[in-house]
Amino acid sequence: MDKRLLLVDDEDDIREILSIYLADLGYAVDAVADGVEALEVYRRERPPLVITDIKMPGIDGIDLLREIKQMDSDTEVIMITGHGDLDLAIKSLKHEATDFITKPINHDILDLAVNRAWEKITMRRQIREHTENIHRLVQEELRVTRHKYHQLFEAAPCYITVQDRHLKITESNRLFKSHFGDAAGLSCYAAYKHRQEPCPECPVLMTFDDGESHRTETVVTAKDGRQYNVLITTAPLRDAAGRITHVMEMSIDITQIRQLQDQLTNLGLLISSVSHGVKGLLTGMDGGIYMLRSGIRKEDIALMEEGMEIVRQMGMRLRKQVLDILYYAKTRELQTEKVEVQAFAESVANTVVPKAEAAGVAFVRMFDPSPGVMEIDPDVATAALVNILENAIDACSEKMDKAAHQVVFTVKGEPDAVLFEVQDDGIGMDRETREKMFTLFFSSKGNKGTGLGLFIAHKMVDQHGGDITVDSTPGKGSRFRIRLPRMQPGKNARPLNGG
């Protein structure tokens, strides 16, 4: 270690003698005559030890001491004073001088003061080195530990996010990013629930409130549109003071488990739903038969027609429900045939017009004059379109803030397909509802819906090789676009484009 010191004294003889003596002791001495030069050398060399006279012209020893301590408080400073300057020497100690020696200088006392100062310098350096070594060791251990936990975090077979008090995602693991994308900075409810506001009974907010772990089950939507049933568990993350700064949310994919459970429970739900529905239809049919009999007995044509209409409607609804059950229970082979698109569309429209009229909803037909011919299973395709049209009528009926509603049924012929479009000005749907609408037993109608209709419609369209797209805005309505191919896949025949 370089034992460098700075010697400051305005008396040339004393400065020269002390320089030679200290050099003989093994010190590298920078000797200067005044405080100004001393500050220049100190700024340039930064020696750990300074020996300075107190009384000097210009900058005296006390001022020099203050300047040096402001630049580096660890620098050791020994003051040299005359016998009559003890007050100044004591004043220098108040400014954190290491020691003081009096003139004439006794070499033994100088040795003792310099050795004491250098021991402090050496001890301080050793403590600093030990502290830095410990800091490096701790940092390395922290780095290794952090790396291990990060590996566990990334490799965990579940979706993990860390969220702040505003439900913003600050970190997520690899599995979460692969399914939902890099959602850093997004709200959790926007990232995988596609909501505009926090979910009811949010487990993360509950953990922030009470510091406890909470668990819930929900359905989330991945970036590719697929939905997953997940079991969510939360855990608080605390700072050194014990305050909760973040909450970790761990979500386990239980989709397959729920699918297996659904297969066992759906049968009971289906039987219950169908039984309730059939009971209502049979009651309605009994009422129609009663009116028909009364009309015959009274020879009242109007009463007979009203009774027949009720029986006809109940029969159609019963037929539709049976078709839904059949398609849910087992997919049968399509019984395809060539149909005139316009005649088929008129038949579908006529099926739902009575329901629209009863609900006070205007039903508008916009058919191409010559949409051509297509190959479909008429019963299956009719059931699919009727489900969607009736859903549109129900959506209009639920919107009470508007006096008049309409459903527009559009049919357009394309070279290789036929486009059926159903547009309503009803209640509309938010993104979460749109993503779940084709899920089995999902219904936005509460007790009024079975959750089968749109699920069956989607299944029927898919069986025909077609597709359904939906645009919807809450409060403004929805538009369903159903595109069915003119010829069924695998059929070796010319396109059925009108003749």
Sheet holding 417-424, edge to edge: 361-367, 405-413, 417-424, 477-485, 467-473
Which pair of structure tokens corresponds to residue 4? 């460098």
What are residue 10's phi and psi, to 5 degrees?
A: -85, -5
Please count the other Cβ atoms lying within 10 Å of the Cβ belonging to residue 77: 24
Helix, strand or coil, per DSSP, at residue 457: helix
Contact 86, 62 (CB under 8 A): no
142-155 pLDDT, tens per residue? Answer: 888 888 877 888 88
What are residue 115's phi and psi, to 5 degrees?
A: -65, -40
Rounded distance between C-alpha atoms, residue 430 and residue 193, angstroms: 11
Name the residue among 348, 400, 401 with its Cα closest to residue 376: 348
Rounded distance between C-alpha atoms, residue 349 and residue 365, angstroms: 8
The per-residue pLDDT for 245 is 94
The per-residue pLDDT for 199 is 87
Please count the other Cβ atoms lying within 10 Å of the Cβ belonging to residue 177: 16
Name the residue among 41, 30, 29, 31 with its Cα closest to residue 11: 31
The per-residue pLDDT for 478 is 92
Given a cut of 50, is residue 216 above it in pLDDT? yes
Lowest mean pLDDT segment, chosen from 100-104, 317-321, 388-392, 483-487: 317-321
Given a cut of 50, is residue 78 above it in pLDDT? yes
440-473 pLDDT, tens per residue? Answer: 555 555 444 445 567 777 877 888 889 998 998 8
Whole-number mean pLDDT of the chain?
83
Taking residues 355-375, report their average pLDDT: 90
User: How, if at all, do strands 337-340 and 373-376 pair?
Assistant: antiparallel
Please count the other Cβ atoms lying within 10 Å of the Cβ belonging to residue 254: 15
User: How, if at all, do strands 4-8 and 28-32 pair?
Assistant: parallel
- What is the model's pTM? 0.43
112-163 pLDDT, tens per residue? Answer: 999 999 999 999 889 989 999 999 998 888 888 888 877 888 888 899 999 9
Which pair of structure tokens corresponds to residue 401? 């803030």
